[in-house]
Structures are given as structure tokens and as C-alpha cells.
Amino acid sequence: MNRKIKGFFWIGVYLLITLGPLFILLAGPRPAGREFWRDLSVGLGFCGLSMMGLQFVLTARFKEMKAPYGIDIVYFFHRQISYVILILIISHPVLLFIFEPKNLELLNLITAPWAARLGVAAIVVTILLVAFSIWRKKFRLEYDQWRIWHGVLAIAVIAFAMVHVELRGYYLNTLWKQIFWGLFGVLWVVVLAWIRVIKPLLLIRKPYKVVSVIEERGNAWTMVLRPEGHPGLKFKPGQFAWLSVWDSPLKDHEHPFSISSSAENDKTLAFSIKELGDFTSTIKNLKPEHTVYVDGPYGSFSVDRHPSAREYIFIAGGVGITPIMSTLRTLADRGDGRPLTLLYANKDLDSMTFYEEIETLKTRLHLKFVPVLEKPSEGWTGERGYLNAEILSHYIPDERVQDRFEVFICGPSPMMDAVENALVKLGVPAGDFHSERFDFV
């Protein structure tokens, strides 16, 4: 089954589970005297609940499911669909209040039945869940704390909503409907157990040991790992993994980082990490033989997904060079002779991680290296300023037809947005440039 067919298959599965409650609502006997707007309200609530349950599946990192799209696309969908879920869940009571205002009495949690109390609780917690995700940085929630609370609130929403459905019972009046929601509950519990217990235990059985921590240009550190008691990780150049560095995987303190080593090297695994926060500033403190756990590989940001391209163009900003460095090292180890262009934007030359090695790789690859400096030193004769359409036009091939070349972009979000817009302006086909984003929250 090729990638496109797999992609359509998983979309179909998602739609089937999402729309399943509507089929249940329309099929079989329904309670007498139920108006259309009430059925519509219940249907929207059921769809919101099933989609909320599927959010756990989307973040469970099932490789087979994510392979057609890439995990960054799946996480982007997870984030955007949460707004739809919020609208569906809120629409459920709003319709009841509009068409039958006396239902507003259900908001009085002192006199309301337990079904209503739990329904209100599910809605309030859903709003908090989305709000904390949107404004995490504004609330100054540290990433690990946010992940824990995000999981707790998500579990609470599903639990409150499932009990609410059970207590209302209007649409659980047949055995097969009860079986459907029972299986949905079992699916949710199994996925939750996989995420929180089973997979962490499997990772514990495949530890890695720190070989060395190497200081790089640009306030970055390369952590070199070796597999301990297992063959290690097979990955494609450009992919990434989740690392548990100071804690057991059971504690859910993971962070995603791109692999920077060659995919042809199966002896060690390297991650190059820039100091940007509380966690990343601790990498330099790692000592040899420290245990690290690796969950991967993930991601679709790889030249191996586009083997027929006649040329590759890489555009990096800051630490976004990491997955591209893995690709360059891999292509060099493979003896790949295709034309390569690397445009690498940084504040200045001292911030340019891997500068010397990239210059060395020019002897092993058909590579044109174009540093772009925002604040170059006096006498700099290369490109300067920010990456824009004018600079890119000098290095993008004139033959801009589908699949002639592939462009890979990684760096700060504002830079990637600007580059993507510039490529569209220059007539590069949309399917021929690929971005790697790590803003999962």
C-alpha cells in the first residue's frame, strides 16, 4: 500500500469514527417526541466527544498512522481540530438553551441533576484545555508542567462526558448502541494505557548511554549516544525523536529533537541541541554513561521520501540546520553526486553551527554553500540581511516544474513563513517544498 493510499485510508477511519455517533443517532428507534433541534444538539455533542477521544490517538505516535503525513502535520491537525471540537461541544448546550430556554436552569449546579453537572464540567474543562494550550507562554507554563496538565484535563473531559452520556441514556436504548459506546470507551482506555504505561516500559528496555557531549558554534551542544543492549535506531536523514534525558519515560518528561548524525552510521546516534530554555541548558551537564531514552524515529522531512529529485535545496535558519546536517552527512556517506544547495541564515558567522564541517563537506558533495548573515562583520562579501525572494531567486533553478527539485526548510517560524511565501512568489510548485516545524503546542 503506497503512501497516498495509506493517507486516504487513515482519513477514512477518522471520519468513520467521528461520524459514527451520527449514524447511531439516525439509525434504530429514537425516543418519542424528540424535536429535530434536540437531535441536532445531541449529534453535535456526540461528534465532539468522539473527536475528543481521537485526540489521544493522534498524539499516541503510532508510526503506521503518521507515516503518510509526518508527525508534525498530525500534531498541527491535532491542534487545529481542537477548535472544531470546542465549537461542537459548546454547540450542544447552546442549541438546547436557544430552543428551550428553561434548560438554562441546568446551569444551577446546586439543583441540577448529576448528568447536567458532569456535562457542564466537561465543557468548562474543555475550554480550560484549549485556553491553556493557546496561551501557555502567556500563562508562563513550563513545557513539562503544561504536558502533565494537558493530559489530566483531557482525561477529565472524556471521563465527565462519558458519564454524562451514560446518565442521560436517551440514545443508549439498544444493545448495539451500548456496544458502540462501550467499544469507544475501551479504545480510549487502551490508547491511554499505551501512551502512559506500555510504551514507556518498552522504551526503558532499550536505553542509550551518553558517549560524549561536544560543544558547537552558536551556543549548541551535540549529544552522542550509543545503544545499550540493542541494535539501535534505524532512521531516515532529517527525522527526529523524543528524548527522556534526566527522567524515566514513565514520568512523561520528553522533548523532541532532530537527529544530526548520518543515517548510514548505526554505531552511534547524535542530537545537536541549542541552549534556548531551562531544559536545553542542561544538555552540556551530561556525563559519559548517563542513560537516555529515545522514542523514534518520526517525521517526513527527509530526502528519502523524494528519491527521484534531480536536485535538493536546503534552507536553514539557526538550529534548523540540525536535520539538514543529518541529510548532508548521509548523502556524503552514500556518495550521492546530485547538485545540492544550502542557504543558511544566521545572525553572524560565530552563530553558524557546523560552519567548518559544512565547508569540509563541500569536498565530498556537489554542494553550493550560501551563508546569509543578518549582522556580518566588516568586509563580508556574501549574502546579508534576511532570506527573501530576491536572494532565493539567485539560487533556485530556472526550471521550476513539478518534481524537478525538492526544497527543505527548517528554522524559526517567521523565517519559514517568509521563505514559503517567497517560494510561491517565485513559482516553485507547492508540493516541492517541505518545512519542519516543532511548535507542537
pLDDT band at residue 171 under the 50/70/90 scheme: low
User: Who has greater pLDDT, 158 or 169?
Assistant: 158
Whole-number pLDDT of residue 29: 60
C-alpha cell at 163: 458519564
Instruction: Please state, rounded to an integer, the average pLDDT across all residues of the chain.
Output: 88
CB 351 within 8 A of CB 380: no
pTM recorded for the entire structure: 0.83
CATH number of 207-298: 2.40.30.10
* CATH number of this structure's domain 306-436: 3.40.50.80
Q: Which long-range contacts does 167-172 make (Cβ < 8 Å, 24+ apart)?
A: 167/113, 167/114, 167/115, 167/118, 168/115, 170/31, 170/34, 170/42, 171/24, 171/25, 171/30, 171/31, 171/42, 171/46
386-440 confidence digits (pLDDT tens): 999 999 999 998 888 787 899 999 999 899 999 999 999 999 988 888 988 765 4
The average pLDDT across 23-45 equals: 73
Residue 170 is predicted with a pLDDT of 67
pLDDT computed for residue 31 by the predictor: 59
Higher pLDDT, 262 or 21: 262
Of the pLDDT bands very low, low, confident and very high (cuts 50, 70, 90), residue 64 is confident
Pairwise CA distance, residues 188 & 182, whole Å:
10
Per-residue model confidence as pLDDT tens digits over 323-376: 999 999 999 999 999 999 999 999 999 999 999 999 999 999 999 999 999 998
Which CATH code for domain 3-203? 1.20.120
Query: Over 80: is that where the pLDDT of 35 sits?
Result: no
Q: Is pLDDT at 1 greater than 70 in this prediction? A: no
The x, y and z cell numbers of residue 105, run together, are 436552569
Domain ranges of the chain: 3-203, 207-298, 306-436
pLDDT of residue 28: 60
For 7, how many CA atoms within 13 A lie in the half-sphere containing its CB?
10
Please tell me what DSSP assigns to residue 306.
Answer: -
CA dihedral sign of residues 422, 298, 11, 40: negative
Can you read off the three cell numbers belonging to residue 143?
Answer: 513545557
Please check the confidence at residue 74 and state whether its pLDDT lies above 70. Answer: yes
Name the CA dihedral angle for 53, 59, 64, 65, rounded to a multiple of 10 degrees.
50
Res 441 pLDDT > 70 = no
- Dihedral sign, CA of 76, 82, 88, 91? negative
What is the 8-class DSSP label of residue 73? H
pLDDT of residue 150: 87
Q: What is the mean pLDDT of residues 287-310?
A: 92
pLDDT for 60: 81
Of 23-32, 254-263, 274-283, minimum mean pLDDT range: 23-32
In the prediction, which pLDDT does 379 show? Answer: 83
Which of 32-41, 159-168, 176-185 is the most confident on average?
Answer: 159-168
Question: 30-34, 229-233, 338-342, 394-398: which has the highest mean pLDDT?
Answer: 338-342
Grid coordinates representing 135 are: 496561551
Q: What is the pLDDT of residues 241-255, one digit of tens each?
A: 999 998 889 887 888
CA nearest to 242, candidates 295, 199, 192, 203: 295
Mean pLDDT, residues 16-22 = 81
Between these two residues, 176 and 60, which has the higher pLDDT value?
60
